[in-house]
Every structure is written in C-alpha cells, then in structure tokens.
C-alpha cells in the first residue's frame, strides 16, 4: 500500500534493519547501553542542550517534560489545537495534576497578548502558571517563525516560566526555515522530538534539556514505566534517523508542494496553501472523503479521509513522486466516474 495518512507510517529503512542486528547494547536502566548513550549525546549536541533522554513515544516525551517542569496544581499554557491538549488523552491532568490555560492558535501561533493575559498573577485564588507549551512544526502544517519564538521566550523570562516545545516534527521546522535546528531549540527549556515520524525510526522520541532537567526526567521516566533495558536496538535506528534522515526532509516538503499544486488544479478541491510549510497538505472539499478512501484502497492507496473534515496528505520516506502521480490519477478517475 502507498500510505498517505501520516509520516508515522514510515517503515524502518534497510540500513536501520541491518544496524539493529549488530548494534552494541546494555541495560539502559543501569545506563549501560553504549548506543543509547551515543544517541543521547548526539541528540543533545545537535539541539544545543547539555543532555538528552530516549523515550518510547512523542506523547511520553511531552508528558515527561510537563511532569518534570511543573508542580501538581499548576496551570500550563497550551494551544487549543495542540497535540498536548487535544490528542494526549488529557494526560497532563492525570499524570502531572496540572490544568490547562487554552489559547486558540492563528497559523499555529497563540497570540502573544493572549499568552501574556494567560499568565496568572499572585493571588490566593489562582493556580501557579509554570509552563508555556509550543508546537513546532505545528500540526496544522505551519512552522513557527524564529521572531515569534523569541517573543514567547521574553514573556517566559519576564514571568519566570519555562518553555517546552513539542517538536514532533522539529527537523521539518528547521528544514522549512532553512536554519540549523539550534536556532529553534535555543528558545526552549526543553524540546521533545520524534525519531519515528519523518525520520523513519520504528519507535522512539528524544527529550532534550539541561543536565539538571534531564536527571530529574530520567527518574520521572522510570516512574512512568519508561525505563527500558537493551534499547540500543532502537537506538541504532535513531542514530540513522539523526545522521541521515534529517537531511532528506526537503524532499518530502518538495513533494508536498507538488501534491498541493496537482490537487489545486482539481475544481472540487480547495487546497490550503497557507498551511503548507512542511510535509503535509490539507484540502477541503464537498466530496465525501470516506467514499474516496474506499475507492482508493483496491488500487493500493490509503488516505485518511473523514466526512466533513479536511483531507490530509502526508509525504514521507516511503512515498515517491511516482506514487503521488498515481494518487492524482486515481482521484481524477474517481471524480470522473
Ligand atoms: C505534534 C505532535 N506531537 C506529539 C505527537 C505524539 O507522538 P507519538 O504518536 O509518538 O506519541 C504527535 C503524533 O503524531 C504529533 O503530531
């Protein structure tokens, strides 16, 4: 199947499968796994932080960062459409005992005035605001500009708050801005980024921060059941993700633009060019995407279509230009049937 649903569907590359066979491993709870140490050192140095921690998933990494930055009863500032607020099962309330101050994003950004207004003052009735969570790249397909990150950092500094970036697609954001990833991460106290999305690892994410934060996070990771043993098996893939796969994301972005151009020529489709910064294309239409999805499955193509919702086409390592041409061909065939 050619799978356009998400970049999470990427399969580990042949190089990753070979690397997994011979990799050196040890018990990582004893901090004995040399491959995980290498991966964590590389992740820290690439993002400009003192230390890093391998975690099982992006959700785990975000929640670990929230738990490590906050005290129970705190309030955290999050975007209304953010993954942390919307798609992590309300975990911050369950695991860390924090509540959310929710702000609607515009083009992926929570307006700065709303963030300022959202910071609680010193009043016996109020919870403490302790953390601002950003998402870069944002799930809407937007990349947050560096000037915006700098402004959010200023607000955080003025109010003694921490900044966490959900960077599930951090390297896509850096690729889109054409900057070193450190230009983004320097505005945060912690960043989570995924190895298992566009970077094609089968499992795993990284949390990066200063040494004190990562030491505390290591203990919290154990509390959350995320202490893993011979996990260098996955670390071998993570190293390839960081060394090799980060370099090819521009191809996915180019393919996304190609899909957008092709789909925009179809009168029934309204392509959202404003949210086209990374490897995702969003399309509105009056046609029933569920029906289209069913039509495409026997042709060997899978899309994520939901009635009344936007179509999202995700580009990644397992989708080539010829696959896109097939998708366009069959969509046109479907509309003319
Ligand atoms: C922006 C964002 N953050 C976090 C996650 C969570 O990652 P995981 O599925 O590995 O838990 C995702 C997953 O798609 C995501 O898109």
pLDDT per residue as tens digits for the range 120-167: 999 999 999 999 999 999 999 999 999 999 999 999 999 999 999 999
The single-letter DSSP state of residue 21 is: H
Write out pLDDT tens, residues 256-270.
999 999 999 999 999
User: Is 3 inside any structural domain?
Assistant: no
Assess whether the C-beta atom of 168 lies below 6 angstroms from ligand 1: yes
Assess whether the C-beta atom of 58 lies below 6 angstroms from ligand 1: yes
Write out pLDDT tens, residues 181-192.
999 999 999 999
> Which of 216, 245, 274 is at the close of a domain?
245
Phi-psi region of 53 (alpha: psi -120 to 50; beta: other; left: phi over 0): beta
CATH of the domain at 69: 3.40.640.10
Whole-number Cα distances in Å, 194 to 7, 42, 137, 271, 305? 11, 14, 12, 27, 24
**DSSP letters of 83-100?**
HHHHSSTTHIIIII--EE
E-only strand ranges, 69-173: 75-79, 99-103, 129-135, 162-167
Q: What is the pLDDT of residue 337?
A: 72
User: Residue 305's pLDDT band (boundaries 50, 70, 90)?
Assistant: low
Q: What is the pLDDT of residue 230?
A: 98
Summarize the confidence of residues 217-236 as an average pLDDT. Answer: 98
Assess whether the C-beta atom of 310 lies below 6 angstroms from ligand 1: no
Please tell me whether residues 96 and 181 are part of one structural domain. yes
Summarize the confidence of residues 163-179 as an average pLDDT. Answer: 98
Please tell me whether residues 84 and 41 are part of one structural domain. yes
User: Residue 304's pLDDT band (boundaries 50, 70, 90)?
Assistant: confident
Beta carbons within 8 Å of 297's beta carbon, 6+ residues apart: none
- Name the residue with the closest Cα to ligand 1, atom 6: 58
Q: What is the pLDDT of residue 306?
A: 59
Assess whether the C-beta atom of 86 lies below 6 angstroms from ligand 1: no
Q: What DSSP element (H or E) covers 184?
A: helix 182-185
Q: How many domains does the chain have?
A: 2
Chain length of the chain: 337
Q: How many CB atoms lie within 10 A of CB 208?
A: 31
Phi-psi region of 305 (alpha: psi -120 to 50; beta: other; left: phi over 0): beta
Closest by CA to 275, choosing from 135, 138, 133, is 138
> Mean pLDDT of all residues in the chain?
97
Q: Which of 55-59, 288-292, 306-310 has the lowest mean pLDDT?
A: 306-310
Percent of the chain scored above 70 by pLDDT?
99
The single-letter DSSP state of residue 33 is: -
Q: What is the C-alpha to C-alpha distance for residues 253 and 250, in angstroms, rounded to an integer?
A: 5
User: Is 5 inside any structural domain?
Assistant: no
User: Is 4 inside any structural domain?
Assistant: no
């Amino acid at each position: 199947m050619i799978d356009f649903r998400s970049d999470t569907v990427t399969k580990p590359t042949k190089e990753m499968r070979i690397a997994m066979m011979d990799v050196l491993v040890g018990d990582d709870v004893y901090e004995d796994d040399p491959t995980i140490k290498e991966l964590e050192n590389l992740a820290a140095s690439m993002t400009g932080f003192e230390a890093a921690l391998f975690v099982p998933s992006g959700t785990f990494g975000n929640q670990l960062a929230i738990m490590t930055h906050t005290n129970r009863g705190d309030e955290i500032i999050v975007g209304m459409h953010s993954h942390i607020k919307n798609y992590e099962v309300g975990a911050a309330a369950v695991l860390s005992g924090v509540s959310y101050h929710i702000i609607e994003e515009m083009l992926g950004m929570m307006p700065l005035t709303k963030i300022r207004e959202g910071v609680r003052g010193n009043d016996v009735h109020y919870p403490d605001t302790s953390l601002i969570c950003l998402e870069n790249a944002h799930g809407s397909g937007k990349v947050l500009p560096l000037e915006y990150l700098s402004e959010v950092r200023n607000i955080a500094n003025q109010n003694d708050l921490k900044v966490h970036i959900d960077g599930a697609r951090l390297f896509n954001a850096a690729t889109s801005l054409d900057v070193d990833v450190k230009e983004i991460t320097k505005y945060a106290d912690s960043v989570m980024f995924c190895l298992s999305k566009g970077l094609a690892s089968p499992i795993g994410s990284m949390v990066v921060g200063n040494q004190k934060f990562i030491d505390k996070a290591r203990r919290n990771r154990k509390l959350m059941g995320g202490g893993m043993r011979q996990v260098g098996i996955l670390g071998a893939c993570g190293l390839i993700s960081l060394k090799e796969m980060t370099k090819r994301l521009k191809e996915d972005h180019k393919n996304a633009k190609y899909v957008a151009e092709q789909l925009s020529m179809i009168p029934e489709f309204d392509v959202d060019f404003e949210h086209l910064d990374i490897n995702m294309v969003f399309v509105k239409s009056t046609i029933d995407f569920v029906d289209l999805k069913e039509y495409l499955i026997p042709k060997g193509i899978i899309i994520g279509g939901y009635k009344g919702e936007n179509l999202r086409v995700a580009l990644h390592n397992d989708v080539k230009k010829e696959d896109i041409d097939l998708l366009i061909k069959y969509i046109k065939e479907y509309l003319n049937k």
